[in-house]
Chains A and B, each alone.
Chain A
Amino acid sequence: MSSAMSLTGIGLVIVATIGIGLFGLRISRTTSDFYVASRAVTPRWNASAISGEYLSAASFLGVAGLVLVNGADMLWFSVGYTVGYLMLLVLVAAPLRRSGAYTLPDFAETRFQSAMVRRICSGLVVGIGTLYLLPQLRGAGLTFQTVTGAPPDVGAAVVAVIVVINVAAGGMRSITFVQAFQYWLKLTALATPIFVILIAWRSGDHQIGVLHSLQGAAAEWAEPLSTAGGRDHPLYSTYSLLLALCFGTMGLPHVLVRFYTNPDGRAARRTTVVVLALLGMFYLFPPVYAILGRSFAPDLVTGAADTVVLELPSRIFPGTTGDLLGALVAAGAFAAFLSTSSGLTVAIAGVIDQDLLRTRLTRLTGGDYLAVNSFRIAALLAMTVPYVAFRLTGALSLADTVGLAFAVAASTFCPMLVLGIWWRRMSTTGAAAGLIVGGVAASAAALINVIGAPTAGWPRALVVQPAAWTMPLAFLTVIVVSKLTPQSIPAGAARSLVRLHTPEAVNVDRNPTPLP
């Protein structure tokens, strides 16, 4: 792979990203030719933006790597990452938008009227965000290593610095056009090499042998629920993974803030439907890379599997074609962790700024500070912690770490959102207990993974894929504690639910205070 060409591709991504950001800000028109109504973000744009922010290094590089090593079961990653939005659509999207909440802690406050639940949520947002940033940095390190040969630490540091500068200076922000561009860039970068390979195959220039070689190890690899790649208890692991992915998406901090951009609950639903289509399209491609990788880059199965997407084009087409395609893929991968990391950093920094930093700064300086500076400090903090964690932790695979972030989200925010939206008798104490129990259980599993998981058997399965026991545990805790503490059901619960479930056009009293 030509590093000069790849670096050029990466450079172009950065320039284009910042360029669109600046251009988007400058657009201004006069009243004669434009109306505000026509400028609201349409579900299509918003869906592209959500997908752009959502598709991370784990999707771009990690899924292909996992399928390459562990075989057919890993296809569930592709499915799960997408199906999460179906759950979001059915259970959460519209009511959450109608709640008026911008972040998850906002929702907790408006539904449970409790500063304590809000603080727990803020802590969890920072925790989940950090856990999700970790694999992004690792992906960045890998890409840099593959492209330039520099050690992974360097690549991660470069991305961390770019993201912090970008976010702090206001370049990336949550500008819809930028994130929407990122989606189409990633899709193009991932799809083009596949189509080129297909065309080459049709014209008979290259023999793709994978379809003839499903014997021995390859047969086990292609078999569902096999123990290929050394995974024990494949049935449990698969279900657990699916639970985490299906119910974790709704608890991802950087995804939910985007829903605020929808004008109403109906638009939120329509956006989610488009997201499902866009993600479905994207996730067709990583498994194709894995299958081709089995044939053209078998050495990666036991090596750096996560680099299969980056390596494949130059393995199939040595020479300029391979270099060009390689540069395209590298640029796409860079876009993947740049956009997700920026989205996450903005979301985490927003929470740190709002719930932790600002009151302190006000007291420290007597109110004599700029709100922007508070956010900048928060952005720096939001990236420093995962970077330090990245330096300290060992080599977990990309998709596994992301899976853990999903598991924590599914065991904490999912019960709070689903029961909070659909169950009137959920009490504040129940919410707090569920968040704490689910959070502690899932984070403990994640922590054991990071330090060093048990090597085999049930202990390993339970720790690597904790969602199947931590999520029901959290739901159960919320339900039992809520039943035991009916006195702490928030006073305006019924009114809150009316607000969450009534379409905006219907004229009902939505005041937060209960009627006398």
Chain B
Amino acid sequence: MSGYGRGVFARRRKHFGTPADKATYATLHTASLASPYLREGLTPAAAGKASRHLRDLLGTAAIAICDSSGVLAWDGVGGAYESNHRRDARSLAGPTLRTGRTAVLGVHDVACGDPQCPIRTASVAPIVIEERVVAVLVAYSERSSAALVRATEEVARWVSGQVELAELNKERTRAMEAELRALRAQISPHFIYNALAAIASFVRTDPERARELLLEFADFSRYALRRGGEFTTLADELRNVERYLVLEQARFGERLTVSLQIAPEVLPVVVPFLVVQPLVENAVRHGLEGTTGIGRITIRARDQINEAEISVEDDGAGSDPEVIRAVLAGESSSDSIGLGNVDARLRQVYGDAYGLVVETQVDAGTKVTFRIPKYSSGVHASP
């Protein structure tokens, strides 16, 4: 497909390729080559790989990227010229790093003794992230011009934007991790209270059952509150759902009917930790609370060749699709415990094609479905 895209692009260029157009294309292309490296953040390795393309953009003899600790990357003339100029690049960058103002440095500041050296002047422009100068871009050339200074400034500004995106990405990952921690802590307090109350009611009448339930509760909390390991197997996750359901059934008795249709082939599939339980908790709530009748919950796991398809269905009150849409978009936190969170985590791990699919309507029950690829690189269960 990408080959096809390039073909169309090349044909069009023949039709209306003014020199200005071509220059624009070339510039955009060079910029696009540099951007993936800059998105990794301003590390020496990434800056080193990006600097080659940045120098192409500016067309100067050499460029350097410096931060307060020294030269991060150098590209352009090498050998003795490089080592000479590399040494005093940090001091040239100093004023701009402090003030954030672009500087133009002349022959007496820059040039070394060697008359053959193509480095005689330099333009220094700041790379700014969130109003803080984190580094500078130094463009070395034989003579300086207003155009080159302007170009250096623009390239530095573009680099700032890319690095800022990298920061944003990191921020997002951190937020996701925080959210996962939050979800673990969020094993609903209602559930704990209700479960303990249900167990208490059996202590006198049926002490043996009370004991079994307490042990289930202990196992459940050990699993739900465990540390470390983002992933587990579907078998473990479903086992925990079973514990949860045993406790809920102690509370609701005959009112809660659960049916499980699990293809044994998908039990070893690695899934994000606590991905099914919140959906079941949601189904129990929606299926039973607010009614006095019987609530039916069906949990299915099916084998779909490369993927496992897991669904949780209840025949309860259902909800307005718009409300669910808002929950999944993160705009509302209503009472759908964890739906949005599970959705976000699935998308983060497996990509946008793997979010939750919710089928619901008022008075028509709710069915939540998601798919998990059997293999996804870097995803391993921890014991």
Contact = CB atoms under 8 A, between A and B. Distances in A.
Interface of A: 25-31, 34-37, 39-41, 100-103, 106, 109-110, 113, 173-176, 260-264, 346, 349-350, 353-354, 359-360, 362-364, 367, 371-372, 375, 499, 504-505, 507, 510-512
A48 to B, nearest CB: 14
A29 B257 CA distance: 11
Contacts of B259: 28-30
Given A37-B235, A261-B268, A363-B1, A100 B379 contact: yes
Interface in B81-112: none
24 contacts: A28-B260, A28-B261, A31-B242, A31-B245, A36-B238, A36-B260, A39-B264, A100-B270, A102-B374, A102-B375, A103-B306, A106-B375, A110-B377, A173-B303, A174-B303, A175-B265, A263-B268, A353-B306, A360-B1, A362-B353, A364-B1, A371-B304, A371-B353, A512-B378
Contacts of B211: none
A510 B378 CA distance: 10
Contacts of A354: 306
Contacts of B264: 39-41, 176, 261
B208 interface: no
B269 to A, nearest CB: 8
Given A31-B260, A346-B305, 18 more contacts: A26-B261, A29-B259, A35-B239, A35-B242, A36-B235, A36-B242, A36-B262, A36-B267, A37-B235, A100-B381, A103-B306, A113-B377, A174-B305, A176-B264, A359-B1, A367-B353, A371-B304, A511-B380
A263 B379 CA distance: 16
A174 B265 contact: yes
B249 interface: yes
Nearest to A37: B239
Interface in B228-242: 233, 235, 238-239, 242
Please name the 9 residue pairs, one residue from A and one from B, whose CB atoms are nearest each other, closest first: A102-B374, A106-B375, A102-B375, A28-B261, A36-B238, A41-B264, A350-B305, A363-B1, A39-B264
B268 A260 contact: yes
A77 to B, nearest CB: 31
B383 interface: yes
B353 to A, nearest CB: 7
A121 B28 CA distance: 35
B305 A173 contact: yes
Contacts of A106: 375
Interface string B302-327: 11111100000000000000000000
Interface string B246-281: 100100000001111111110110100000000000
Contacts of B257: 30
A287 B40 CA distance: 63
A31 B378 contact: no
B305 A499 contact: no
Contacts of B201: none
A102 B306 contact: yes
B371 interface: yes
Contacts, number: 111
B382 interface: yes
B258 A504 contact: no
A339 B249 CA distance: 42
Nearest to B249: A31
Contacts of A511: 380
Nearest to A45: B264
A27 B261 contact: yes
A109 B375 CA distance: 10
Between B298, B302, B371, B382, the greatest number of chain A beta carbons within 10 A of the residue's beta carbon is seen for B382
A350 B306 contact: yes
Contacts of A102: 306, 374-375
A39 B262 contact: yes
B311 to A, nearest CB: 13
| SS class, residues of chain B in contact with chain A | mixed
Contacts of B302: 25
- Band of interface residues on B: 35 or more
Contacts of B304: 371-372, 375
B207 to A, nearest CB: 20
Interface in B217-235: 233, 235
A100 B375 contact: yes
Contacts of B371: 371
B382 A41 contact: no
Given A34-B260, A100-B379, A102-B374, A176 B265 contact: yes
A505 B258 CA distance: 31
B314 to A, nearest CB: 15
Nearest to A353: B306
B242 A499 contact: no
A247 B353 CA distance: 38
Contacts of A40: 235, 264, 267-268
Contacts of B261: 25-28
Nearest to B242: A31
A334 B324 CA distance: 50
Contacts of A264: 268
B270 to A, nearest CB: 6
B372 to A, nearest CB: 11
A217 B161 CA distance: 84
B303 A175 contact: yes
Interface string B361-383: 00000000001001101111111
B383 A507 contact: yes
Contacts of A375: 304-305
B305 A349 contact: yes
B235 A103 contact: no
Nearest to A173: B303
A64 B379 CA distance: 46
Contacts of B378: 512
A191 to B, nearest CB: 28
B4 to A, nearest CB: 9
A260 B374 contact: yes
Contacts of A30: 257-260
B270 A510 contact: no
B281 to A, nearest CB: 15
Contacts of A25: 261, 263, 302
Nearest to A177: B264
Contacts of B263: 25, 175
Contacts of A110: 375, 377
Nearest to A261: B265
Nearest to B302: A25
Nearest to B307: A371
A375 B303 CA distance: 13
B278 to A, nearest CB: 18
Contacts of B307: 371
A349 B306 CA distance: 10
A375 B375 CA distance: 16
Contacts of B382: 510
A153 B363 CA distance: 55
Contacts of A263: 233, 235, 267-268
Nearest to A513: B378
Nearest to A506: B383
Contact of B246 (A27, A31, A39, A101): A31
Nearest to B1: A363
Nearest to A42: B264
Nearest to A115: B377
Given A40-B235, A346-B305, A101 B260 contact: no
Between B257, B307, B353, B377, the greatest number of chain A beta carbons within 10 A of the residue's beta carbon is seen for B377
Nearest to B268: A263
Nearest to A41: B264
A416 B238 CA distance: 35
Between B245, B304, B306, B383, the greatest number of chain A beta carbons within 10 A of the residue's beta carbon is seen for B306
A27 B239 CA distance: 18
A362 B42 CA distance: 33
Between B257, B268, B371, the greatest number of chain A beta carbons within 10 A of the residue's beta carbon is seen for B268
A39 B305 CA distance: 19
A260 B265 CA distance: 8
Contacts of A360: 1
Interface in B33-74: none
